[in-house]
Amino acid sequence: MKFSPIIPKSIFDCYKSLSIDSPTALSFFDQKINMNQKFLNEFVKRQRLLSDKQKTLLQNISSDSFHLDDFFKALGFLEHSFLFPNDKKETFLELSKNLFKHEKPIKKYDLIINNLIMSNTYNQLNFLINLHNLTKENGLMLHIVPFSGLINQNLFNINPIFFRQIAIWNNYEAVKISLSNFSGAEVTIPLRKHQIFYEILYSKDEISHFKKLIDFSKEKLGDDIYFIIILKKMNNKDFKFE
């Protein structure tokens, strides 16, 4: 789970979409994502929607290498926490359990970050229940999962139609859908065209819009591609899977 520039960019996309003062965010464990000043300067240069205050705070981070927490604070997040601070193995084992089964009170957040966590968690249903329950009403769930290529780098490769079905069952609203490579280059799909992702694709299908999108993305991004979707939780009803 190495650092990819797509993570900070996606976090900024979520911050813009939240449109609230001092939101809170949760990662599942410390993935040791470090950035340096060179990266930040390039990030500031590319992200035209950054406010002057955000640019200043990002550029004033003085350390040559600093933690992701500093990035969250510079964007305007009040808090960025880890559910399991130190142990990657514990994360996957615990997220395979229903953390809310015994009605234990767990703090909720405005943004939950699934950066290749779901694709390595053994019990997918319990992971989704935990994700749902950790998210505030009107909060966001950022999913970054393997899409094309990346064979045997994760336990599961999850199809886009899976997220569509989860969204339908739970009245989630799609905020953004894109494809990205490890370096952070993206092909973003307008939400009005998101149905392209849910076509059933056959290997010899030459007229599929989905196949054309994949071919275009491979040309622009390379063979190893991640699927990114930001979902908004519209209510506090229990998680549904039918």
**Least reliable range by pLDDT among 26-30, 110-114, 160-164, 177-181:** 26-30
Matching residue, tokens 């950035």: 35
- Give yes or no for a contact between 109 and 120, defined as CB atoms under 8 angstroms apart: no
% of the chain surpassing 70 pLDDT: 88
* Inside any domain, residue 11: yes
Residues 99 and 42: their CA atoms lie apart, in Å, by 39
- Give yes or no for a contact between 100 and 129, defined as CB atoms under 8 angstroms apart: yes
* Inside any domain, residue 221: yes
pTM: 0.90
Q: Which of the given ranges, 17-21, 33-37, 44-48, 202-206, has the highest pLDDT on average?
A: 17-21
What pLDDT is stored for residue 72 in this prediction? 92
Query: Could you list the residue range(s) of the whole structural domain that residue 157 is in?
Result: 6-32+85-232
Angle between helices 52-59 and 68-75 (to 10 degrees): 150
* Inside any domain, residue 19: yes
Q: What is the CATH number of the domain that holds 153?
A: 3.40.50
Number of independent structural domains in the chain = 1
Q: Say yes or no to pLDDT of 177 above 80.
A: yes
145-162 per-position pLDDT tens digit: 998 887 777 788 888 989
**Least reliable range by pLDDT among 79-88, 180-189, 207-216:** 79-88
* Inside any domain, residue 76: no
